[in-house]
Structure 1
Amino acid sequence: MTYVIHGATGAQGAPVVAALAAAGKTVTAVTRNPDAVVPGAQRVVTAAYSSAADLTDAYRGAEGVFVHLPVASEEDRQTYARNILIAVREARPDRVVFSTSGFPVDPAIGGAAATLAAGLAEAGVSHAVIAPELYLENLLMPYVIDSVRERGVLPYPIRGDFPVSWASHLDIADAALALFDRGDVTGVVPVGQYPAMTGPDLAEAFAARLGRDVVFEPITPEEFRTSVAPVIGEGAAADVAGAYQAMSTMPGRPITPETSAEKLLGVTPRTTGQWLADIGL
């Protein structure tokens, strides 16, 4: 039996592979590159989200599957969600853990993440949905981290008084490992810092780690779109900017601690300072 991990060479999947390997689990890495070398994986398979047949072959006989939807157009993401669900219904893996990557799973809001979460609930397969709010790794985008290093300014497209339960990819990996072992925990499991952190709180953590003054600077979603487009592409950048524009009308993005990974699984998310130390910044 093996654990099938999507995005095994990427920012989200690689920490899950590492966590499973450290726990002595057998890992099958799903990549788009047949020549990829994935430390910690016993097997590498090439499977595309665009092919339900590929995914079915990858999932068949799996003890667990870790999946997240890549940054792409909403139309493509809906296609990927449907193909994942076809594969899950056909292959019947023992357990599926889906990370929303911060996208909403409320059916009233809609979107591919909501489609996938609802479909997993209807598929009759043991599953759990990891629900982070925003990733600390977003702060490593060149525009952001270069500004911190060069100007002592942390720019980000949220208000200074906007509290967020930030989480890292390492926290998601810890939660995924625990959820694979805890089949009794199902449904949506929030992951993130609580109490939630504001932009100035983040800047203070960076300042403490770097030993220099760092201040928070709110920027517009359009400024952020322009900064990330060279990294993730124009279409994806526009979607990200739209999400931050919608966020501007919200009071914040804190998790619900009563149903969190910390409460249900005993998995404590890293503080911002701990995360900075763990990534060697």
Structure 2
Amino acid sequence: MTYVIHGATGAQGAPVVAALVAAGKPVTALTRNPDAVVDGARVVTASYVSVEELTEAYWGADGVFVHLPIVSEQDRLAYARNIVATVNETRPARVVFSTSGAPSDAALGGAAALLADGLAASGVSHAVMAPTLFLENLLLPHVMDAVRERGALPYPIRGDFPVSWASHLDIADVALALFDRHDVTGVVSVGQYPAITGTDLAEAVGTHFGKRVVFQSITPEQMRASVAPVIGEGPAADIASLYQAMSTLPDRSITPENSAQKLLGITPRTTGQWLTDIGL
């Protein structure tokens, strides 16, 4: 028996692996790199495109942690179908899925919604973690360089737009708890509450670094141009579309009723705590 972690060497999966290893749990780290070394874990090469490889990895699992990578939406839909097919075949004891901020409401469609709906239909014990925006987005070079060099925090939201920010470290904390708490099912919102505005975010960043930092609202197109060299044109365009759609909303706040705070007693890190924990 083991805990199978997708993207085990990536930004979201690696902290989950570390949390499980620290808790003394047996871990199978899934990666596309056959030469990868993951401390404390058994490394298995498996791809989202292969149901056969996923099936071999999932058999007998105590738990599976999954999130969809930043690729084209067409690929994400294919990956979601493959994961659902594998879960239906192998019936792991527990599946924990992070939406990574993508909408999981079936009425809205998309890969995250397809995967969440498929898990619900499978009858397998599962929980869907629903963060809004990740604090790790602030580590993108064009953001952190601006903070350090100009005292500005550029991001494609309004300065008065409230967001329940979360970190990958928070996701790991909640995932670890959800693997043990089979009584908690359905959607679990992960993020700061009350939500904070862009202006609040910049102030918190400035306080941590001991300097004045002002929030700079940029357009989704400016965001696309900045991240395309890092993640590729297709995924960058998809992200820009998400921020464009977000601009029509009043906020990106979690609801306390289904929050990790209420359901699990886990309070996400403040912005300052997160910056300290990652060593900045």
Are 2:176 and 1:180 aligned? Answer: no
Equivalence for 2:57 = 58
Equivalents in 2 of 1:68, 1:99: separation in Å?
Answer: 5
Q: Residue by residue, what CA displacement relative to the aligned partner does 1:238-275 show, whole Å, maximum 9, x if unpaired?
A: 00000000111100100011110110011110000100
Equivalence for 1:23 = 23
Equivalence for 1:68 = 67
Give the count of matched residue pairs: 280
Equivalence for 1:4 = 4
Equivalents in 1 of 2:35, 2:279: separation in Å?
Answer: 28
- Alignment root-mean-square deviation, CA: 0.5
Equivalence for 1:84 = 83
Equivalence for 1:268 = 267
1:96-135 superposed matches below 5 A: 96-135=95-134
Equivalents in 1 of 2:39, 2:109: separation in Å?
Answer: 36
Equivalents in 1 of 2:179, 2:20: separation in Å?
Answer: 10
* Superposition deviation, residue 39 in structure 1: 1.6
Q: Residue by residue, what CA displacement relative to the aligned partner does 1:25-44 show, whole Å, maximum 9, x if unpaired?
A: 00000000111011231x10
Equivalents in 2 of 1:99, 1:256: separation in Å?
Answer: 17
Q: Residue by residue, what CA displacement relative to the aligned partner does 1:10-33 show, whole Å, maximum 9, x if unpaired?
A: 000000000001111000000001
Corresponding residue SS for 2:187:
strand
Corresponding residue SS for 2:143:
helix
Equivalents in 2 of 1:64, 1:245: separation in Å?
Answer: 35
Equivalence for 1:158 = 157
Task: Give 1:153's aligned amino acid.
Answer: A
Equivalents in 1 of 2:187, 2:160: separation in Å?
Answer: 27
* Superposition deviation, residue 48 in structure 1: 0.4
State the identity as a percent. Answer: 76
Corresponding residue SS for 2:106:
coil
Runs of 4+ in structure 1 over 3 Å off: none
Equivalents in 2 of 1:97, 1:115: separation in Å?
Answer: 15
Equivalents in 1 of 2:200, 2:40: separation in Å?
Answer: 35
Equivalence for 1:252 = 251
Equivalents in 1 of 2:122, 2:55: separation in Å?
Answer: 14
* Superposition deviation, residue 124 in structure 1: 1.1
Equivalence for 1:233 = 232
* TM-score, normalising length: structure 1: 0.99
Task: Give 1:206's aligned amino acid.
Answer: V
* TM-score, normalising length: structure 2: 0.99
Structure 1 gaps of 5+ residues are none
Equivalents in 1 of 2:245, 2:11: separation in Å?
Answer: 25
* Superposition deviation, residue 99 in structure 1: 0.2
Equivalence for 1:39 = 39
Task: Give 1:88's aligned amino acid.
Answer: V
Equivalents in 1 of 2:153, 2:201: separation in Å?
Answer: 8
Are 2:203 and 1:204 aligned? Answer: yes
